[in-house]
Structure 1
Amino acid sequence: MQYVADLHLHSKYSRAVSPQMVLPVMSEWAIKKGIDILATADWTHPLWSRHLKEELEEDGEGLFKVKNSSSKFKSEKKDPLFILSTEISSIYSQGGKTRRIHNLIFAPSLGTVEKINKEFLRRSFNLASDGRPIIGLSAKDLLELVLTIDKEAILIPCHAWTPWFSLYGSMSGFDSIEECFGKYSKFIFGVETGLSSDPVMNWRIKELKNKAILSSSDSHSPAKMGREATVFELEKPTFKNIRRAILGPSLKPNWSKLPDRIDYTIEFYPEEGKYHYTGHRNCRVVQSPKETKEKGPICSVCKKGLTVGVMHRVEQLAKKEDAFVEEIDPNGVKWITDPSGNHPKYVNLVPLLEIVAESLGRPVSSVRTKEVYENICKNLGPELDILLNISIDEISIIAGEKLAEGVRKVRQRDIVIKPGFDGEYGVVKIWNSDGEQAEEPLTGKQLKSKDQLRLDF
């Protein structure tokens, strides 16, 4: 059976996160979105850890559900399950450089969570300052600590290409898993793509050939949950089976035939991510990888260094060119597949709220946009079903021809995106690809630099 999982979120106790990021609200939005398994997030924070113990009850082996949860939205799915995962920020010096690496830790039990937190406190790490704590341990030492406490725990480098805080980051990362994790590299079974890269970019990296490619939303608000997700095929939703699915590509050449496996991932368009291209936001300088090779990584206006984007960083480390095949399913959804068979397929989507907003000519945050979105989900079902499975004719009957056309265009990849750079999101235009103008095009107001730490992350 398929399970849609969003394995990387943040609670209200992380910086720049909505106060709505609490378990009951997250659970309600998961049903609305069509998400079956959610990250608890931030279990290192003492107040959030207490909230988890108060609000969750175990339902299965190593997964939890919110007590007394119910939903008003049309869905045949049960309340979502939660997996104990959290993000840790490691800042340290190695090889003459300051390294800033973010990793996800998945724990099989609350007992393991308590042991890890206890060890962090013994080392005087400040867990109460932020739901995503900053610690002085290297990524390698963090992995050693976690596996010493529980060998069934998993560590996954998250948003692996983000320039400032990731495994491969251009500004403070490494060139390989081995360089970062040393002798513990064999325990890195996968990486998270992040919003500014997609699987086909990661397929170009030789050392990721037999690694799981995971995708998650890294959401700071309920509405952003599920913008990226990993869809598992599981015999039963348990921590052990999710672990088997993640480990599969590393251990079994025929991983695609395993009963527990990753079936596909749901992706942001990477161009929409905040660090896809190289650039300098303050000077409005943006460069493609080709332009960066020609001009160099120096701002032509202020002569300072540019933030080297994810696409260029992939070009630096890749050992092969893009290789993919497009397949269209009966619903008109265009999927991207790996011709080598080493990795699962994936699909790029635009969140339904963004489609609604552009169809109305209103901002995503407007009251009208939210009202229309809520009505569509109540009448048609979960967002991901609307984007992937429900017929365009049925969408048109309930939501109107304009919205149905937007969903069709997204399914067919018939959109235009101005790439993001240096912390600024890319701009999606659904109705510009054929010269048609939206009724009231979205303005750049949502993308000003001062907005980047708002709660709509």
Structure 2
Amino acid sequence: MYYNADLHVHLGRTKSGKPVKITASPSLTVENIFEKCVEKGIDIVGIVDCAVPEILDELEDLVKNDVLRQLDGGGLIYKDKIVLQLVSEIEVGGELAGSPHLLCFLKDIESMRAFSKILSKYINNINLSTQKCRLNSIEILKIVRDFDGFVVPAHVFTPYKSYYGNTTDRLSRVFEKYYDEVFAIELGLSSDTYLADMISELSYKVFLSNSDAHSLQKIGREFNVFDLPSPDFKSVKLTLKSRSGIIRNYGLNPALGKYHRTFCLDCSKISNTNPPIHKCAYCNSENVVFGVLDRIYEIKDQKILHPAFRPEYIYQIPLEFIPGIGPKTVKKLLYEVGNEIYVLHEAPFEQLRECIGEKLAKNIVDARYGNVKIKAGGGGIYGKII
């Protein structure tokens, strides 16, 4: 059975109102995330702040009140609608260079609770998300493996807090003999399958396209389609390990990502010439934020070469990016047409036109088929539909 999975969503607050991810919206609570996933069309969600003790308490309360039910193969299901995968995003502070982020997937509350207790010895505040950990990547992988979990390097190309972005030019040098135990990597918003497959060491890794949502609206802006016998932890892990059952990746056109091209910190201009760009083409400054496209072109070692198992990558432009589509229009579409994934990719033009008129319906269909011009993003500024 096919499932839409977004495996990187942040929490902003606990149920009692305490902050979890400082840069995330306060409306990102556990139950709000589940309800937004229904609205978006997401079937499996990975909440990446599950090592926070109060969040684990909250999940246990939801199980006791029959709102959540533990699955035999790991993970929990919300009202028989949405499956939760328990994840902890960690900032790895023990590498020789950089401070990359690593996603740690655990099978159940008990395992995550034990992992959290170990983690608390190596970070300053276990109650906040994505804190710097005084361990290296291999040490973290070994701990996760002891709990039958697995790790996924997060947004691997972004200029800050990533492996290829500011830690290494080869992931295999970081994980060494344990590299084969890294089944998948997360592409991030500013890259895609075509760019990542210019690095030969990634040719047998699964690529995940996740939202890294810091607000409810951002959930599902990138997601994966899995063919699973069950939406539980065991099936997701096996699918990634075996490289089978990965049906499609849906993600932003990388140019819409906020770190796609090199950005000048002095004149605030985004490069638009052939990569890699190490200094500003406008003012010649070297005070720049290096772009994802530029970094990939700097370290690539082959032309685009997709392995046989690599699924189709479909560009998705979320409703909020499409000109003329504001919050009221989105609400109308979701009420009268269907969830956002259906609206973006499947709803017939006639159905859209009947709901919101011909002009806006055409904008959605043009976005669906890539009939748009994009101004590339960089330096923390999202790209734009022109």
1:134-155 Cα deviation digits (max 9, x unpaired): 21111122112221x32x2110
Q: Distance in 2 between matches of 1:300 and 1:418?
A: 17
Q: Does the residue aligned with 2:288 lie in a helix, a strand or coil?
A: coil
Q: Distance in 2 between matches of 1:289 and 1:231?
A: 34
Residue 167 of structure 1: which of 135, 138, 163 is its match? Answer: 163
**Paired AA for residue 101 in structure 2:** H
Residue 227 of structure 1: which of 221, 235, 248 is its match? Answer: 221
**Paired AA for residue 324 in structure 2:** S
Q: Distance in 2 between matches of 1:123 and 1:347?
A: 40
Q: Deviation at 1:341?
A: 2.6
Aligned match of 1:134? 132
Aligned match of 1:390? 347
1:103-127 Cα deviation digits (max 9, x unpaired): 1111011121111111122345421
Q: Deviation at 1:132?
A: 1.7
Q: Distance in 2 between matches of 1:224 and 1:203?
A: 26
Aligned match of 2:17? none
- In structure 2, the CA distance between the partners of 1:269 and 1:116, relative to structure 1 (3 Å rule), is same
- In structure 2, the CA distance between the partners of 1:246 and 1:303, relative to structure 1 (3 Å rule), is same
Q: Distance in 2 between matches of 1:372 and 1:144?
A: 48
Q: Distance in 2 between matches of 1:216 and 1:291?
A: 25
Q: Distance in 1 between matches of 2:367 and 2:45?
A: 25
Aligned match of 1:414? 371
**Paired AA for residue 366 in structure 2:** K
- In structure 2, the CA distance between the partners of 1:92 and 1:302, relative to structure 1 (3 Å rule), is farther
Counterparts of residues 38-437 of structure 1 (less than 5 Å): 38-55=45-62, 56-66=68-78, 69=79, 79-94=81-96, 98-123=97-122, 125-128=124-127, 130-147=128-145, 149-150=146-147, 152-169=148-165, 172-249=166-243, 255=244, 261-288=245-272, 290=274, 292=276, 296-297=278-279, 301=283, 303-322=285-304, 338=306, 341-355=308-322, 358-359=323-324, 369-429=326-386
Contact kept, 8 Å, 1:101 with 1:165, in 2: the verdict is yes
Q: Distance in 2 between matches of 1:30 and 1:386?
A: 14
Q: Distance in 2 between matches of 1:318 and 1:302?
A: 25
Aligned match of 2:33? 26
**Paired AA for residue 32 in structure 2:** V
Contact kept, 8 Å, 1:289 with 1:315, in 2: the verdict is no
Q: Distance in 1 between matches of 2:123 and 2:384?
A: 43
- Percent identity reads 27
- In structure 2, the CA distance between the partners of 1:105 and 1:124, relative to structure 1 (3 Å rule), is closer
Greater shift in the superposed pair: 268-277 or 298-307: 298-307
Contact kept, 8 Å, 2:73 with 2:235, in 1: the verdict is no
**Paired AA for residue 43 in structure 2:** D
Q: Deviation at 1:50?
A: 1.8
Contact kept, 8 Å, 1:281 with 1:424, in 2: the verdict is no
Contact kept, 8 Å, 1:164 with 1:173, in 2: the verdict is no
Q: Deviation at 1:266?
A: 0.8
**Paired AA for residue 144 in structure 2:** V
Q: Give the aligned CA root-mean-square deviation in angstroms.
A: 1.9
Q: Deviation at 1:387?
A: 1.0
Q: Does the residue aligned with 2:89 lie in a helix, a strand or coil?
A: strand
Contact kept, 8 Å, 1:281 with 1:421, in 2: the verdict is no
Contact kept, 8 Å, 2:226 with 2:246, in 1: the verdict is yes
1:275-326 Cα deviation digits (max 9, x unpaired): 1001224422322462645xx4368648343221110111122222246xxx
Q: Give the TM-score normalised by structure 2.
A: 0.92
Greater shift in the superposed pair: 41-50 or 408-417: 41-50
Q: Does the residue aligned with 1:87 lie in a helix, a strand or coil?
A: strand
Aligned match of 1:252? none
1:22-58 Cα deviation digits (max 9, x unpaired): 1221111111100001112201222222222222331
Q: Number of paired residues?
A: 374
Q: Deviation at 1:86?
A: 2.0
Contact kept, 8 Å, 1:281 with 1:423, in 2: the verdict is no
**Paired AA for residue 353 in structure 2:** S
Aligned match of 1:444? none
Task: Identify unmatched segments of 5+ residues in structure 1.
Answer: 70-77, 250-254, 256-260, 324-337, 361-368, 430-457
Task: Identify unmatched segments of 5+ residues in structure 2.
Answer: 13-19, 63-67
Q: Distance in 1 between matches of 2:61 and 2:273?
A: 49
Q: Distance in 2 between matches of 1:93 and 1:226?
A: 31
Q: Deviation at 1:420?
A: 0.9
Contact kept, 8 Å, 1:204 with 1:320, in 2: the verdict is yes
Contact kept, 8 Å, 1:44 with 1:133, in 2: the verdict is no
Q: Deviation at 1:415?
A: 0.9
**Paired AA for residue 63 in structure 1:** G
Q: Does the residue aligned with 1:116 lie in a helix, a strand or coil?
A: helix
Q: Deviation at 1:88?
A: 0.7
